[in-house]
Amino acid sequence: MTWTWLVGAATLVSALLWLSAVGWAVVAHRPASVAAAGPTMELRPEPPALVEFLTGGWQAGRGAPRATLLDLAARGLLALEQTGPDPRHTLVRIRPAREEPAADLLPYEALVLARVTALASGGALPVGALARGTEDEDRGWWRAFGRAVAADARALGLARDRYPARLKAGLTLAAVLPAALAAVLFLSLAGPGGWFMSLGIVLVVWFLGSLLVSRLTGERETPAGVEACAHWLGVREWLARDESFPGLPPAAVTLWDRYLAYGAATGVARSALAVLPLGPRDERRAWSTYGGGWHEVRLRYAPAPARTLRPPRESVRLALRRIGSASIVLLLVAWWHAHPPTVIRLPVASIALLVAEVALLIGVLMGSRWLWTGRRPVIPLAAYVYGGLLAFVGFTGGLQASGEWAVPPQAVWAQLPPVLITGPALLGYLFLLATALLDLSRRAWSEGEVIRLRTGKGLHHLALDPGGRTAVTAWPVRPELYGALREGAVVRVLRGPVLGHVYEVVLVTPSPQGELFPAGFSQDEHADDHADGETDGDADGLTAENGPPWGEDTRPPTPWAGVAALFARGDPKEFLPLAEAARILRTELREAEYSPHLGIRTYDTADGEAFLLLQTASRALGRRLLATHKRRATPVGAGAADEAYLRGRRMVLRRGDHVLMLQLPFDSDHSVLPALAEAAARRMVSPSP
């Protein structure tokens, strides 16, 4: 007992000492407070996001992207125009660079500019439309922005690691002592047979300590950073002396130039910060350009019961089965009521044996139905209640030892449970049958812009703006339809008016919006890649050198070059060139829109009508594209293709790792699809693994 108490005390003391060392490291290495150097109007070369980082305790705050947007407007890359008396009625216009090329943008400045250009339609958007994406998606974007700002601060010598690598290594090594003492304590309590578990305790305790040390991240000041921070605090004092400055709208950047951006970075320009909603979107409002011009649309989300998500044909089959089962039960009750028995001779003389036989029979039927259909039985539940009530009446009415039962008047109440259970169920399934048949007969197509895609709690909602609406309802859709959609795309939706089931979604025009949140970027494991504080300038492909230069459409270089390379799809015209498609279709075509992130290219007719849509993908994305489009399709031959499927005006084929989807308009000749697919299959050669 003395040895155990000694080891326990040593374990407790060592754990407390180690935790005290961690606490000392947190307190001793926190950023120092900096005093202002005095009011000044002189500006240093640091950009506003970096100023917000320095004056905000050596970490980027939520005002940094908004200050960067104002700075881009002051530098001529954007224009902010107030169109009404309310500052919220401000329009953001994208214009070619005047004072500097886009290649000179810092990674976090490119992130903000890419966010604006990705959302713009016709080179403009209202400030209310700057909010985009769910909280998870925006969290990933924000962490990338913060890492890029911290990397820039380190590169300029204004910040350094808050916790040196030697300190973290020492704390990790010191965690071995309390872990080893904890294992010895367990071994002294469990005896010699507990040595294997004690080894596991060592690893678990040491792992928990290492995990705690790995969470020690952040930045702190350097002498150069202290000097810069003191200067910018002086600029904040100078700006705060102007009483009108806190109420300036974003459009005032035309008069105040970069001073408004630095005022937002230091927290003085509060009105300008409040008007720019860079962050997660409002799930109850969305912005649309369908029908011409930006306009705000209010959203409501329709509930998603099983009858809406389930195809109506399955609802018809389900309703017919349940109606038949319920009708049998009600017919038996009606026969009992029409021919009430007075004496019943039971097959056994023992009530216990009778109950056991009935329960066994119902259990077998119940289990058989469950195994066959995979669904919980409803009607056998009524049989359970009915049989149990009959047994109760048998006890109280007096079952004779001979097996004859004189049915008492109370037995009439035994007809009530099956009626109360089965009657409402029958009415409900009759209603389901009627609504499913109406939904199948009255389904109709509607066209509009996808203004909201929302996923949460296992549900997928699609909001479609048909134009001329101030409020729309977001419909629940099946996951296989949701996966290929993007906000901003124009689609045609086949939907039933009664149950609200979405049968099919057909892409009309790909989304013009850029890829703000690439696939997989917002996942937690990616967002925490640099949780240990190592935020070098090349992380996540955010350096200006990694991004492509601007093209003729003055779009900025994408900040996601590293991530987008993982999801590259290729250009579909490599498989089906324009000249080849025009020859097979016997019509004049021209190249139209191309979405590289989606792998979609459109060939238009001479009058500008979309005629042939191509989409390609490879490897995992290709398998997903193939699985999405081959459902309920007919297998066909397509020359050298490994497999091909045809359904209506759409055909999808695979050769090796490449998948290609072809789609023609509704009023075209769909018989040419196999010829197009055969021509494309000859060029679909998989890359070497």
Look at residue 366 in the predicted model and tell me its pLDDT: 60
Paired residues of 618 in beta bridges: 658
Q: Which domains does the chain have, with CATH numbers?
A: 2-30+164-214 (no CATH), 48-162+244-283 (no CATH), 295-308+438-509 (2.40.50.140), 312-435 (no CATH), 572-681 (3.40.1000)
Over residues 510-524, the mean pLDDT reads: 55
pTM, entire model:
0.54
φ/ψ (deg, to 5) at 79: -130, 135
Q: How confident is the model at residue 230 (pLDDT cuts 50, 70, 90)?
A: very high
φ/ψ (deg, to 5) at 124: -150, 155
Type of residue numbered 86 = D
Strand ranges inside 423-574, DSSP E: 444-456, 459-465, 471-476, 490-495, 502-509
Least confident of 257-271, 410-424, 438-452, 564-578: 564-578
Distance CA 653, CA 673 (A): 11
Tell me the pLDDT of the chain averaged across its residues: 77
Residue pair 254/82 in contact by the 8 Å Cβ criterion:
no
Least confident of 523-527, 539-543, 597-601, 619-623: 539-543
Q: How confident is the model at residue 397 (pLDDT cuts 50, 70, 90)?
A: very low
Q: How confident is the model at residue 688 (pLDDT cuts 50, 70, 90)?
A: very low
Look at residue 227 in the predicted model and tell me its pLDDT: 92
Q: Provide DSSP, 407-461.
A: --GGGGGGGHHHHHHHHHHHHHHHHHHHHHHHHHHH-EEEEEEEEEEEEETTEEE
Q: Provide DSSP, 363-387.
A: HHHHHHHHHHH-S--SHHHHHHHHH
CA distances from 564 to 126, 146, 402, 511, 624 (A): 27, 20, 83, 17, 17
Distance CA 128, CA 123 (A): 15
Q: Which helix (H) or strand (E) holds 265?
A: helix 258-265
Look at residue 392 in the predicted model and tell me its pLDDT: 52
Which tens digit of pLDDT belongs to each residue from 179-229? 888 888 888 877 766 677 888 888 888 999 999 998 888 888 899 999 999
Residue pair 48/261 in contact by the 8 Å Cβ criterion:
yes
Over residues 522-545, the mean pLDDT reads: 35
Instruction: Check whether 375 has a pLDDT greater than 70.
Output: no
* Ranges 363-377, 392-406, 476-490, most confident: 476-490
End-to-end Cα, the chain, rounded Å: 64
Instruction: Check whether 582 has a pLDDT greater than 90.
Output: no
Over residues 505-534, the mean pLDDT reads: 54
Q: How confident is the model at residue 352 (pLDDT cuts 50, 70, 90)?
A: low
Least confident of 66-80, 377-391, 401-415, 611-625: 377-391
Look at residue 609 in the predicted model and tell me its pLDDT: 79
Which tens digit of pLDDT belongs to each residue from 23-76? 999 898 888 888 888 888 888 999 999 999 998 888 888 788 889 999 998 888
* Ranges 416-425, 427-436, 514-523, most confident: 427-436
